[in-house]
Amino acid sequence: MATTDPGTGSTAGEQDLYAGTQETSEGRVFTVSGQDWDSITEGLEDGVDERVIVNMGPQHPSTHGVLRLILELEGETVTEARCGIGYLHTGIEKNMEYRTWVQGVTFCTRMDYLSPFYNEMTYVLGVERLLDIEDDIPEKAQVMRVLLMELNRLSSHLVAIATGGMELGALTVMTIGFRERELVLDLFELITGLRMNHAFIRPGGVAQDLPPGALDEIRGFLDLMRKRLPEYAALCNANPIFKARLEGVGHLDLEGCLALGLTGPPLRATGYPWDLRKSEPYCGYETYDFDVQTWDTADAYGRFRIRLAEMWESLKIVEQAAERLAGLEGAPVMVSDKKIAWPSQLSIGSDGMGNSLDHIRHIMGESMEGLIHHFKLVTEGFRVPAGQAYVPVESPRGELGAHVVSDGGTRPFRAHFRDPSFTNLQATSVMSEGGMVADIIVAIASIDPVMGGVDR
């Protein structure tokens, strides 16, 4: 008869390769805070305790924000690695329960701050499914959503490559990466009024139409990026120093990715072409011409190459979206149901947040009933039928989904996000153990976690 280990819940004789149980803070713990290594190991007798446990972070410049790494070392070799999270907890999900359905967009956009449009998109798709208005979203709103998401994929991958290069010492990659990202943020500011935390994608459509001249700016950006992207390939793809630091580092095969639930570039680097834009399309992605990028090395180098290749695919999608928008001049960008739709036909205010003065005059001068309705829609919000929905999207880091629950009121009963950074960080141990300390930085950079999405 098989016995069960009360500590792990697993049957005796079985071993879970991806869920060890050893306490990483056993024995003597050394906290590294900038002093010389000799002062840390001073007083240790040979043979008494050969392992050293150190904390890297949570403010280490190479650990992607406030990520804490608990490392057990034998010399420079990592024998055990664990990540500690929770240093950036914002309470966003709980706060959303106390705001209207539209106001929830303002909260969730701040989670993964490098890809805010994806946070908004998965939440809004869930709300629209509960409202049963998925088929009523105007075509122009859907195309604008795709355009903004793919521009956002470009900016996010640029940051991933730039910060990864900086952590390896490739400072030129960092400087040109942020140079191109600024161009994308300029487009965001032109279209939404803000560089980050936009709250632009809303239930029923988007906040407002494209401003005059936006398509010309987008086309100019596309032409420039087609000249700039080859610089990354020239600097990195065949660079022997760059490849030596990435090839074979952070290895995780398909079986390990599936066991841990990893998605995005880490999964596609194993050769498995899983991309929700193709496998479970949303926002009309099935009508766009693009390819799912894969690599076959299952290591940090493969994840870098995938992100580089995906930027080219995003340029193709943005170009197609811009062509469609050129033929939709004057088309609506919000559903026609005035009980749901926030006014979108006029500009956002000069602060990028409130309604413009022209719009306020329009509402107040239209009719008393219109003014009352606008007031109730803004202060109370609309009601969403009771139920629950989960509509995932393919963010730059993998599957991002919002489980949205309604009790029939004007506020979410519960909104819980499946953030890919949180799930993918499980691979830290498997990717790092057995390698060198310097390889931990490479492995984590290849996952590209954003702690704002982890600590929600």
Q: What is the DSSP letter of 309?
A: H
Residue 16 lies in a domain: no
55: Cβ contacts below 8 Å, ≥ 6 apart: 29, 30, 31, 32, 68, 69, 70, 71
Residue 178 lies in a domain: yes
Tokens of 197: 């935390």
Residue 75 lies in a domain: no
Please state the rounded mean pLDDT for residues 92-105. Answer: 91
Domain extent at residue 434: 92-347+359-454
Residue 21 lies in a domain: no
pLDDT at 428 over 60: yes
The answer to whether 314 and 151 are in contact (CB under 8 A) is yes
Query: Of the ranges 65-69, 143-147, 181-185, which one carries the lowest mean pLDDT score?
Result: 65-69
Residue 32 lies in a domain: no
Give residue-wise pLDDT tens across range 202-225. 998 998 888 888 999 999 999 999
Give residue-wise pLDDT tens across range 238-284. 888 888 888 888 898 898 899 899 999 999 999 999 999 999 999 99
d(CA 450, CA 456) in angstroms, rounded, equals 11
pLDDT at 1 over 50: no
The answer to whether 40 and 32 are in contact (CB under 8 A) is yes
Q: What are phi and psi of 55, to 5 degrees?
A: -105, 125
Is residue 171 classed as helix, strand or coil in its secondary structure?
A: helix
Please name every residue paired with 395 in a beta bridge, in sequence order, or none if there are none. Answer: 398
Tokens of 199: 């709250």
Please state the rounded mean pLDDT for residues 311-332. Answer: 92
d(CA 344, CA 359) in angstroms, rounded, equals 10
What is the bridge-based pairing of β-strands 77-84 and 205-206?
unpaired
Residue 164 lies in a domain: yes
d(CA 412, CA 404) in angstroms, rounded, equals 7
Mean pLDDT of the chain: 84
> Any idea what the CATH number is for the domain that residue 142 is in?
1.10.645.10
Is residue 368 classed as helix, strand or coil in its secondary structure?
A: helix
pLDDT at 174 over 90: no
The answer to whether 308 and 173 are in contact (CB under 8 A) is no
Instruction: Domain count for the chain, please give it.
Output: 1
d(CA 165, CA 304) in angstroms, rounded, equals 10
Tokens of 29: 């713990």
Residue 150 lies in a domain: yes
- Give pLDDT, residue 20: 58
Residue 9 lies in a domain: no
Q: pLDDT grade, residue 2 (50/70/90)?
A: very low
Please state the rounded mean pLDDT for residues 407-422. Answer: 92
